[in-house]
Chain A
Amino acid sequence: MSSEQSVVFVIDDEPSMRASIESLLLSVGHMTQAFATTQEFVLSERPDVPGCLVLDVRLPGRSGLEFQQELARSDIRLPIVFITGHGDVAMSVTAMKAGAIEFLTKPFRDQDLLDAVHRGIEIDRGRRAESMMLAELWQRFDSLTPREREVMALVAAGQLNKQIAAELDLSEITVKVHRGQVMRKMQAKSLPDLVRFADRLAADTIKP
């Protein structure tokens, strides 16, 4: 069903519940990996494909909600679908605020779980594409010389060649050459393209 490989991780301490979820996901063609504890999950070798985590709230030791925060801290950005035997509103609010895809109360409808998992995978796929794109942009940006970076910043800020030349104390011709290099190295087809790239790089520097 997916255009590309994907995997669903399941963490539930109840063997039967774990097996049933695995079987359900498998029946619609998902690849799955199931774990009884969060430790097992953390220590496991996970394939580098879009994925989603189905997480039980009540787990021996650390609760699912605590594990969600821990994942966020350790930069594992898997979308999480919570399942719980005794959900209350406060619990689901906490989970959703922390970015959970869905909060399902057992017993849940199979379609609800499948929908949530599917949504999670799509979100993860989008996020992965985005971060791959960003990584690519950074690579291109890294190939610029310091002078070219200065020129790129001023171009992105909307300054004309003449103004840039005055600001950097260069001739207009030199600026033009730098600007051509920037466009080529950044693989920008047009000025708006370059501005967009600059914005995304700027946003990425501010965010983390």
Chain B
Amino acid sequence: MKLTSDAQDDPPFLLTTSPPGRSQERLAVCVLVVLVGPLLITAPFARVPLTNTEVLLPAYAGAVFVIELITSALLFALFSIQRSRAVLALSIGYLFSGLMVVPWALTFPGVFASLGLPDAGLQSTASIATLRRLGFPLFVLAYALLKNADPSVRSSQGSARRIILGSVAGVVTIACGLNWLIVTSDGALPRFMSDARNVSELWQYVPATAVFLYLSGLVVLWTRRRSVLDLWLMFVLCTLLIELVLLSYVSAGHRLSLGWWAGRFYGFISVSVVLLVLLSETTTLYARLARSVSAERRAREARLTAMEALSASIAHEVNQPLASMVTNADAGLRWLGKKNPELEETRAALKRIVSDGHRAGKVIEGIRTMFKKGAQERVPLNMNQLIRNVLKRNQGEAQLGRVSVEAELDEQLPLTTGNPIQLQQVVSNLVANAIDAMSSVTDRPRVLRVKSERHASGTVLVSVADSGSGLDPESRDRIFEPFFTTKSDGMGMGLMFCRSIIEAHGGRLWATDNIPQGSIFQFTLPDNEDDALPTAGRVR
């Protein structure tokens, strides 16, 4: 999957940047289809007036107000992270819509009369509703139009907090101003209502405009849809459309009728949807994040353990010649400090110091190849080819040790993923060990057999078998430990390195007995067809 260039520097799992999954799309469509049901059921009875339902109105308005405010707050928070002007526009839209609900309910005829509020003019409620209904889709449109143009202008000057505070203050001021104008100058308002319950001819333009805005919002979102938020905003516009159809056409604008309340139900769903999506996505993303953090921590711990073992063995390998140098130098000084300085002994001590120095240098060099630049790189590689290379390189050694080499390579072997330098080191180490192990064999043929095969699903198995003297059970447990060696001139770290390399590749390395004589070293590696790349996280 190729990301568009502008998406690449976005945080990858924000609501506004992560693409919706198939299941999400399906869910949105299903819910929408289910929601059409009530529309069809209520349609025949839409104009039945439900008297005395004014009492429900404040509860409805209160719920809408709170939900829209929370949604707006969450969107503002999203903006402060992402600095996207589109998200800012949307959060302002929700804030505006939420703020307009309050005067709408307050001016609704007959609702707050019992509180002794002076009845506002007949047209106030409708005018406020008009502003709210036409305002919100405009903000959604602004979101849809701004969202793709964002990244270039995103780093707008000023802190997110200042922008947010400014926007909130602006929206509150404008909303208050508009409401004040509407309430105080009822006479100048367009005549939307013929009486407290029924709309006039003029009202028809409002839903028509709103439908146009909703549809254009839907079209723009559809053509530019990319994120989870886009998907659910389309859902919001659809439910708003249904609401409007119910309010204005099916119930013919009769306030507090069955159709009108059904419309309010859709409005409520539409208001809640973005909040629900924001919350559920946040929770899911949080869980995913927590999982990946703990996986990362496990990986780091595993790396640390491997590093500890490694540094312990490095320390040991360097310390050995160092200690020898110190003692040799001490001895040399003592020989020189005698009444009759012993030059021959001193010379011998100095010579040993020289060879110790070279030995330490070799150890360091070996370590440097382990950590060579690119040693962490993982590429798909052909294990058979790698084995052939190693065998070719060890040909001389094998001939010298009068060892016959047999290779049984499975040509159907899948590719593996790994670091060629390191894996080559492993195989060549195992081959060299096998040749060494047979150096004392005289009564039977010396056979080195390297085999590659497909192991259990998803793994490649490589085994290196010799006909040497084998391992006694006690040392078989210990050969992978650092410092442990059965050779008189062994470093005691070869197999330990091998094991840490294989485990870092997500595989396993172990030793078994060969029949009738000798031992087998085998390792597994996950094959390349596995979805996840092998990482240090797979180390046990």
Contacts and interface: CB of A to CB of B under 8 A. Distances in A.
A86 B335 CA distance: 29
B481 to A, nearest CB: 11
Contact of A85 (B323, B328, B345): B323
A99 B333 CA distance: 32
A19 interface: yes
Most buried by A among B342, B345, B488: B488
A16 B330 contact: no
Interface in B300-347: 312, 315-316, 319-328, 330-332, 334-335, 338, 342, 345
B327 A21 contact: yes
Nearest to B317: A85
Interface in A51-106: 58, 60-61, 85-86, 106
A17 interface: yes
A110 B486 contact: no
A28 interface: yes
Contacts of B315: 86
A26 B355 contact: no
A23 interface: yes
B486 A20 contact: no
B243 interface: no
Contact of A17 (B323, B332, B335): B323
B538 to A, nearest CB: 29
Contacts of A28: 334
A17 B488 contact: no
Given A16-B321, A16-B324, A23 B488 contact: no
Given A27-B342, A86-B483, A106 B488 contact: no
Interface in A9-34: 13-14, 16-17, 19-21, 23-24, 26-28
A125 to B, nearest CB: 23
Contacts of B327: 17, 20-21, 24, 107-108, 110, 113
Contacts of B486: 60-61
B338 to A, nearest CB: 7
A16 B488 contact: no
A178 B53 CA distance: 133
Interface in B477-524: 483, 485-488, 490, 492
A36 interface: yes
B488 A13 contact: yes
Contacts of B219: none
A55 to B, nearest CB: 15
B322 A23 contact: no
B191 interface: no
B352 A16 contact: yes
B334 A36 contact: no
B349 A14 contact: no
| Interface of B: prevailing SS | helix
Contacts of A86: 312, 315-316, 319, 483
A27 B320 contact: no
Interface residues of B, number: 35
Contacts of A23: 328, 331-332, 335, 345, 348-349
A60 B485 contact: yes
Contacts of B487: 60
Contacts of A61: 475, 486
B356 interface: yes
Nearest to B487: A60
Contact of B322 (A60, A107, A110): A107
Contacts of B490: 60
A60 B485 CA distance: 6
Contacts of B326: 107-108
Nearest to B336: A27
A27 B343 CA distance: 12
Contact of B334 (A58, A106, A108, A110): A110
Most buried by A among B327, B348, B485: B327
Given A23-B349, A24-B330, A108 B323 contact: yes
Given A36-B488, A85-B316, A107 B483 contact: no
A24 B487 CA distance: 27
Contact of B323 (A19, A36, A60, A106): A106
Contact of B349 (A20, A36, A106, A113): A20
Given A20-B324, A107-B319, A107-B323, A60 B331 contact: no
B352 A20 contact: yes
Contacts of B323: 17, 85, 106-108
A20 B331 contact: yes
A26 B330 contact: no
Nearest to B332: A23
Nearest to B326: A107
Nearest to A25: B331
A2 B492 CA distance: 39
Contacts of A14: 320, 324
Interface string B126-141: 0000000000000000
A61 B381 CA distance: 38
A94 B319 CA distance: 23
A113 B485 CA distance: 26
Interface of B: 312, 315-316, 319-328, 330-332, 334-335, 338, 342, 345, 348-349, 352, 355-356, 359, 475, 483, 485-488, 490, 492
23 contacts: A13-B488, A14-B320, A16-B321, A16-B359, A17-B327, A19-B328, A20-B328, A23-B345, A23-B348, A23-B349, A24-B331, A24-B334, A26-B345, A27-B334, A28-B334, A58-B492, A60-B487, A60-B488, A106-B320, A106-B322, A107-B319, A107-B327, A108-B326
Q: Which 8 A-B pairs have the closest CB atoms?
A: A106-B323, A110-B330, A107-B323, A107-B326, A24-B331, A27-B334, A20-B327, A23-B331
Interface of A: 13-14, 16-17, 19-21, 23-24, 26-28, 36, 58, 60-61, 85-86, 106-110, 113
Given A20-B331, A58-B483, 17 more contacts: A14-B324, A16-B328, A19-B328, A19-B348, A20-B328, A20-B349, A23-B331, A24-B330, A24-B334, A58-B492, A60-B485, A61-B486, A85-B319, A106-B322, A106-B323, A107-B323, A113-B327
